[in-house]
Amino acid sequence: MQDFGAAFGLAFHLIATGNDNLVEIVLLSLKVSFSALTLSCLIGLPLGAFLVVRPFWGRGVVVAVLNAMMGLPPVVIGLLVYLSLSRAGPMGWLGLLYTPTAMIIAQTLLIAPIVAALARQVLEGLYTEYDEQFRSFGISRLRAAAALIVDGRYGLVTVALAGFGRAVAEVGAVIIVGGNIDHLTRVMTTAIALETSKGDLGMALALGIILMSIALGVNLAAGGLRAMAERQAYA
């Protein structure tokens, strides 16, 4: 296959020439996925911590459901959001279908369970360490949850990265609720799907390479920040 070499060449060419369309698509991808990640952290981290510090009847089932929701197919979420936001749907009056906001909503529904479930996992390990201390100081559950999130923040960055990776890579949900409209709701993954359906596999692969480079960049940046913060914390 000569496609691979050509695709790398094309990817470099696109980046080097700073193609306006490409920049726009990349920025929208990042904007949508980071917005969804922000919302997911605000929902998922407290939820994950709550599930660790607050035992209640049926908690095991809730945790199982949450873990299962990590496997929700994006296309199902896309359909649910489409049916809700469609003019004929219950929230149609908002007029949000085919906007970046609709895409953020869909991706938030997709990754909030991932952030919550993984955060619970990370914080649970921490909690077994801290449990006795919390008890001896008679710390309230709310404060215990807060302490866990603060002390577990480095682990939680990895959780956030997992959520971001899932959001930025999915195509099934955003193509339904965003509509892949040029200059409005076209993101990296929907652009890749479009180029594939045009049979322009070289271009599709080039966009894929760029998407992976961006994901790598985000991970490196997060890793760097984390290392810096850790050095400061223990200095």
Partner 1 sequence: MSVKSAVLGTVSVATIAFSGAVLPGPARAEGPQVLVQSTTSTQNSGLYDYMLPIYKKETGVTVNVVAVGTGQALKNGMNCDGDMLVVHAKSAELKFVKDGYGVDRHDLMYNDFVIVGPASDPAGIKGMADVEAALKKIVAKKALFASRGDDSGTNRAEMRLWKAAGIDPKTGSGGWYRETGSGMGATLNASVGMGAYTLTDRSTWISFKNKGDFGIDVQGDPRLFNQYGVMLINPKRCPSVKAKLATQFEDWLLSKHGQAVIAAYHVDGQQLFFPNPK
List all residues 6 or more positions away from 39 whose beta carbon is below 8 Å from its beta carbon: 104, 108, 112
Residue 149 binds partner 1 (CB under 8 A): yes
Judge whether 198 and 208 are in contact, CB under 8 Å: no
Distance (Å, whole) CA 133 – CA 115: 26
Position 165 contacts partner 1 (CB under 8 A): no
Tell me which long-range contacts 126-130 makes (C-beta under 8 A, separation of at least 24). 126/151, 126/152, 126/155, 127/52, 127/53
- Sketch the per residue contact string, 189 through 218, with partner 1: x for CB under 8 A, - otherwise: -----x-xxxxxx----------------x
- Footprint (CB under 8 A) of partner 1, residues 24-53: 24-25, 27-28, 30-31, 33-35, 37-38, 41-42, 45-46, 49
Residue type, 145: A
* 164 scored as a contact of partner 1 (CB under 8 A): yes
The site for partner 1 (CB under 8 A) is made up of 24-25, 27-28, 30-31, 33-35, 37-38, 41-42, 45-46, 49, 86-89, 92, 95, 97-98, 100, 139, 142-147, 149-150, 153, 156-157, 159-160, 164, 179-184, 194, 196-201, 218, 222, 225
